[in-house]
């Protein structure tokens, strides 16, 4: 149970898809002009991630990874099909998106009207494929955890796009330097938000307590913390600079 809680918060805040790994940036930037559309896209991402990550986990576990075909019989134990994972994952995602679209249209026209236009967009959203690829490279242990990972990364993405959409609605009334308007200021705002999210980094290690994930991580965290402290000062001055301009 504890590992579920840990993974949940870790995926939302520490490994936030947008701020830590830059997944799904294209739609994040393109569809964040209004809060209502951002909510629609965010909900669709949560939905599709929660469906595709567990599905791809099953594929990975029983088809792709080294020795995964053992259930077919001992002579298949040597096969390693992991080089096929890109093509299988993307095929699953494209199919699922199509399927979800059909099902939603049939059973819930209201939901379809709000999600509908975003669903085709999502097949090529890096956040979805990225979720599956990270699930594979981070060696998620069980189907439940895979579902949890998909759901919580989706929620993290949702929060990110919601926040930036709200900020962009406000920024419209500010006096931004002309060449920075639109895209430029959105990038810089996202950068500052990412710095803010880095402060969640120490959440799971619990300060002085010995961290669980091996030494490499410790070093990184303490380095990051140092940098975050510097960063906070920088952020304040940066913020002021922006406000002054």
Partner 1 sequence: MALLSKKDANLILDPLADNNPITIQVLGICSALAITAELKASIVMAVSVLFVMGVGNVVISLMRNIIPSKIRIIVQLVVVATLVIIVDQVLKAFAYELSKTLSVFVGLIITNCIIMGRFEAFALANGTWRSFLDGIGNAAGYGVILVIIGFFRELLGSGTLLGYKVLGDPIAKTGLYAIGYENNGFMLLSPMALIVVGLIIWVQRSRNKALIEEN
Q: Residues interacting with partner 1, by CB under 8 A? A: 19-26, 29-30, 83-87, 89-91, 94, 120, 123-126, 128-130, 133-134, 137, 171-172, 174, 176-185, 187-188, 190-192, 194-195, 198, 223-224, 227, 230-231, 234
DSSP 77-114: TT---GGGHHHHHHHHHHHHHHHHHHHHHHH-HHHHHH
Toward partner 1, which CB reaches closer, 75 or 230?
230
Toward partner 1, which CB reaches closer, 34 or 172?
172
Minimal distance, residue 105 CB to partner 1, in Å: 16
Toward partner 1, which CB reaches closer, 47 or 89?
89
Toward partner 1, which CB reaches closer, 97 or 115?
97
The C-alpha atoms of residue 119 and residue 170 are separated, in whole angstroms, by: 27
Q: Which DSSP letter does residue 172 get?
A: T
Neighbours of 103 (CB within 10 A): 11
Minimal distance, residue 42 CB to partner 1, in Å: 17
Toward partner 1, which CB reaches closer, 129 or 155?
129
The C-alpha atoms of residue 210 and residue 126 are separated, in whole angstroms, by: 34
Minimal distance, residue 73 CB to partner 1, in Å: 27
CB 162 within 8 A of CB 32: no
CB 31 within 8 A of CB 161: yes
CA 90 to chain centre: 16
The structure tokens listed for 45 are 């991402």
The structure tokens listed for 117 are 């236009």
Toward partner 1, which CB reaches closer, 43 or 121?
121
Minimal distance, residue 85 CB to partner 1, in Å: 8
Minimal distance, residue 107 CB to partner 1, in Å: 22
Minimal distance, residue 2 CB to partner 1, in Å: 27
* H-state helical runs in 172-214: 183-198
């Amino acid at each position: 149970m504890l590992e579920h809680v840990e993974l949940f918060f870790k995926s939302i805040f520490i490994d936030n898809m947008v701020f830590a790994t830059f997944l799904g940036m294209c739609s994040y930037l393109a569809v964040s002009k209004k809060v209502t559309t951002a909510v629609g896209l965010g909900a669709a991402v949560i939905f599709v991630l929660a469906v595709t990550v567990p599905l791809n986990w099953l594929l990975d576990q029983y088809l792709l990874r080294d020795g995964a075909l053992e259930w077919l019989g001992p002579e298949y134990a040597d096969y390693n099909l992991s080089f096929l994972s890109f093509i299988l994952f993307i095929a699953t995602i494209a199919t699922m998106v199509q399927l979800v679209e059909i099902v939603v249209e049939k059973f819930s026209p209201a939901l379809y009207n709000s999600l509908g236009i975003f669903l085709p967009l999502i097949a090529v959203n890096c956040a979805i494929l990225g979720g599956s690829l990270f699930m594979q490279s981070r060696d998620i242990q069980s189907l439940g955890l895979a579902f949890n990972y998909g759901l919580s990364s989706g929620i993290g993405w949702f929060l990110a796009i919601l926040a930036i959409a709200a900020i962009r609605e406000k920024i419209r009334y500010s006096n931004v330097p002309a060449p920075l308007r639109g895209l430029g200021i959105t990038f810089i705002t996202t950068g500052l938000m990412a710095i803010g999210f880095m402060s969640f980094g120490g959440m799971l290690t619990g300060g002085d307590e010995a961290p669980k994930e091996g030494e490499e991580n410790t070093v990184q965290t303490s380095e990051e913390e140092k940098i975050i402290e510097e960063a906070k000062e920088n952020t304040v001055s940066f913020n002021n600079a922006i406000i002054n301009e």
